[in-house]
Amino acid sequence: MSAPTVAAGRSTLMRQRPGETERAAAPSSGARTALFALTLFISASLVFVVEPMFGKMVLPRLGGTPAVWNSCMVFYQTVLLAGYGYAHLLSRRCPLPAQVGIHTALLLAAAFLPVSLAADWAPPVDRSPIPSLVAQLVRGVGAPLLMLCATAPLLQNWFSKGNDGAARDPYFLYAASNVGSILALVAYPLLIEPAATVTVQRAFWSYVYLLLVGLILACGAIAWRTWAANQSSPFDSRRVRLQADPASGSGTGAAVVPPIEWRRRTRWIALAFVPSSLMLGATTYISTDVASAPLLWTIPLALYLLSFVIGFSRRRPISDTLVWRCAATALLVLTVILSANIRLPIVALLALHLSALLFVALSLHTSLADDRPPSEHLTEFYLWLSVGGVAGGLFNTLAAPLIFSSVAEYPLALAAAAWLLRKPTPAPWRWHVPIAAVIAGAAVAGILFVLRMHTATPLALTVPVMALVTASLVAGRSRAGMGLAVSCVLVAGLLAGRDDGHLLYIGRTFFGVLRVWDVEREQQHRFMHGTTLHGVQSTAAGQTGEPLSYYHRAGPIGQVFTGTATHLSHARIGVVGLGAGGLLAYRQPEQDWTFYEIDPEVERIARNPALFTYLRDCGSSCHVKLGDARLSLARSRAELFDLLILDAFSSDAIPVHLMTREALTLYLDHLRPGGLLVFHISNRHVQLRPLVGALAGERQLAARVQFFHTSSPDVARLPSEWVVIGRRQDDLGALATDPRWEPLRAHAGRVWTDDFSDILSVLKL
C-alpha cells in the first residue's frame, strides 16, 4: 500500500469515527504545533551555530585550509547519522514515556560538557591531522551535538502520536527545523561573528541550550499525555490502518504498514549523497580562492538546507518545471566554466556555483520529499537520508583525496546530479537518442573549438553554452540527454587539456592540490597551489637564480632587499610560507634563513632539484620548520630575526589567524631591535591593506605600502602588493623616503583577534 493510500484510509477512518478520536485530544492543536515547531527551530539553530563556531575555534591550529571545514562537516554529518540512529532505536524499542525520560536526561548530562578546545592541542605535522581534529571534535562538541541531532526525528515522532490532522504528516516540521538551521547559518557570519567574540558566543549558546531542554520536556509531557490517553482508549485511530482492495475499493480492516524495499532505500541514499557531495565540493572551490572562514562555509550549507525547506514544505513556492530548467541551465554553464578553467569576478563566481548548488539540491530533495513514507517509517527515512549525507561527506573528505590527485569529486558530483535531476514530464523515448546526440555534439564541438583556439573567455564561450542550454531545455526534457550533456562537457575539458605546459608533478594533500608545470616556451617551472601561482623559476642557462613572479627585483620585495642590503648582510631572515623558495634568490652568503611551512609536500617539491633548485643552492644555511607558523614561533621564543616575511597563502585564501592582534605581537617578539616585518598582501578577493593598517595603527608602528602594477602579461614580473612595518621610522631606512612607498593609513576598522574576525568587512565585492 502506497503512502497516499495510507493517508486516504486514515482520512476515511477519521470521518467515520470522529467521536472516538476526540477522546484523547491533546491541548489545542495550534498551540501544540507551535510548541513543537518552536522547539525544533531552536534545536536546529543551536546545531548550526555551534558548527561554524567550533570550526572557527580549530581553524587557527590548522593553517586556515578549507579542508578543516570539510573535515568538520563530515564529523557533523556522522554525528547526525548517530543521532538519527539513536532516535530510530529509541522510538522502536522504548515506549514514549521512556523516550522522554531518557532523552531529557541525556540532554541535561551533555549540558555539563562545555563546548571547548584543548588549550595545548597541536595537530601533528608528519601525518594527516584529520584523526587529531576528529578527537578534538569528539571531546569539545560531540555529546551536546549528538543529542541535538537526535531531537528533530524524535520530536517529529512524538508529534505524530497526536490525533489531529497535522499529526498524520509530521514531515512539515522538518521544514520548520531547517528554517532554524538556515537563519542560524545566515546570522552567524552576518550578526553573531561581527558582534561577539567566541567566548561570548559559547556562553550564550549554553544558556539557550538549557532553555531548549525545558522546551523538549514540555513537548514530551504533551506527547506523554496524548499517549497515555490513547492507551486507555478502547479505540486508537493511530494503530489502525485500512488496506484498500484495488478491485472493490473497500478496506479489509487489517493493521498493515507496508515495508520499505531496499531499492527504495538505495534511491533515498543516492538522492541524499549527491547534494551532500556537491555542497562540500562547492565549499572547497569557493573557500580555496577567498578564505576559509565561517561566512563562506555557511552560504553553501544554508542553500543546501533551504532546498530541504522548500522540498519538504506543504506548498512549494516554485514549480518543478522551473526548478528543473534552472538546475539544468546552471549545471551546463558551470561545467563549461570549470572545463575551460575560466577566471571570473568573485560575484559571478559565487553566483554560478551557489545557484547550481541550490537548484540541483532542490530538485533532488524534492524527489526525496515526494517519496517519503508514512510516519511509521519516519525515523528510518531520516536515518537513510543521513546515511547518504555521511557517504557524500566521506567521499569528498576521505576517499577523494586518496583516489584523485585533483579536486575531481566536484565535477563528478555535477555529472551524477545531471543523471538524477528531477524532470517534470519525461520526453517520449524516441526523442532521447537524438536529443542526447545533439547535446553531445554541441558540447564536444563547442568546447574543443574554444579551448583549442586559446580563446577561453566568457564571451567566446557564449555560443557553445547557449547551444547546450537550448538543446537541453528547448528540444526536450530528457534525463539521458541532460546527463550526457554535462558528462561530455567535462570530458571535452579533459581532452582539450590546458595551456600551462607539460605537467611535471601533481599531488593532493590536506591543504590543497599542488602542481608543477614546465612551460618550455618561457623556459620556466611554475608552481601552482590550487588556482594561484606560488613560485616561478627560470630554466634558462645562467638565469636559474633570478627572482621571478611576485619576487622580481623591480618589485616591492626586491626594493626591500636592495634598500637594506648592507643592514641584512649578516642577518637572520624568517619567512612564513615556502612555496618554491623563490625569495632565496636574494640570499647573501652570511645570512641564515628559516622557512615556516605547514604542508610537508611543499617542502618536498621545493627540495626536488628536478623541479626547483633554490633550496638546494642555499645549502645548510637554509632551514625549513614544518607546522603552523604561529605554533612553531611560539615554541621557539628565543629565535630572533632581522627580517620576518609573511608570505603565507593557501591558494588565494588568507590564513585569518596570521592577521590578528595576537599574531602581530608574536611577530614583534621575534623581531630584533631595528628589524622589519613584511606582509605580502596580494589577493584577488580580499582587501588586506585595511586589516594590516588597523593592526599597525593600534601599535603605532611605522608602516609603508606599495602596489606594484605592470601591464605586461609576463609571469616573470607579476603585479603585487606589500607592506613593510618597523617599530620606528628609522627602522625603515631608505624605504621611509622612497616615493614608491606610501604611508599605510591606520584604518578605523575593528582589529582582528584570535577571538574575533569578520571576513565580510574586507571582501572585495
DSSP 190: I
Report the Cα 474 to chain-centroid distance in Å: 34
Go through the domains of the chain in sequence order and give each one's CATH number: 3-235+261-420 (1.20.1250.20), 429-496 (no CATH), 551-762 (3.40.50.150)
Cβ-based neighbour number of residue 144 at 10 Å: 25
Which residues lie closer than 8 Å to 590 by C-beta, 6 or more apart? 569, 570
Q: Tell me: pLDDT of 296 over 60.
A: yes
Q: What is the mean pLDDT of residues 107-118?
A: 85
Sign for the CA dihedral angle at 510, 599, 560, 761 comes to positive
DSSP 688: -
Residue 180 has which C-alpha cell?
A: 532554524
Report the Cα 605 to chain-centroid distance in Å: 27
Q: How far apart are the first and last CA of the chain?
A: 54
Tell me: the pLDDT tens digits for 462-487?
A: 455 555 555 555 444 556 666 766 77
DSSP 516: E
Tell me: the pLDDT tens digits for 489-540?
A: 677 666 555 555 688 998 888 777 889 999 888 899 999 887 778 889 999 9
Task: Tell me whether strands 720-726 and 671-680 are parallel, antiparallel or unpaired.
Answer: antiparallel
Contact 574, 594 (CB under 8 A): yes
Mean pLDDT for the chain?
Answer: 79
| CA–CA separation, 312 and 422 (whole Å) | 15
Q: What is the mean pLDDT of residues 260-265?
A: 88
Residue ranges of E strands in 598-755:
622-626, 641-646, 671-680, 702-708, 720-726, 742-743
Q: In one letter, which amino acid is 497?
A: G
CA 690 → CA 19, 224, 744, 759, distances in Å?
71, 58, 9, 12
pTM for the full model? 0.70
CA 671 → CA 668, 674, 675, 694, distances in Å?
5, 8, 6, 20
Residue 370 has which C-alpha cell?
A: 515526494
Q: State residue 474's pLDDT score.
A: 44
Report the Cα 558 to chain-centroid distance in Å: 37
Contact 735, 741 (CB under 8 A): yes
Which pLDDT band, with edges at 50, 70 and 90, does 423 fall under? low
Shortest CA distance to 220 belongs to which of 91, 353, 103, 66?
103
Contact 715, 533 (CB under 8 A): yes
Residue whose grid cell is 515522532: 157
Q: Tell me: pLDDT of 214 over 60.
A: yes
| CA–CA separation, 367 and 383 (whole Å) | 17
| CA–CA separation, 703 and 681 (whole Å) | 14
Which pLDDT band, with edges at 50, 70 and 90, does 103 fall under? very high
Tell me: the pLDDT tens digits for 309-359?
A: 888 877 788 888 788 878 888 887 787 777 766 666 667 778 888 999 999
| CA–CA separation, 394 and 71 (whole Å) | 9
Lowest mean pLDDT among 31-35, 254-258, 569-573, 737-741: 254-258
Tell me: the pLDDT tens digits for 576-601?
A: 999 999 999 999 888 999 999 988 99
| CA–CA separation, 584 and 547 (whole Å) | 8
Report the Cα 204 to chain-centroid distance in Å: 25
Q: Is 241 in a helix, a strand, or coil?
A: coil
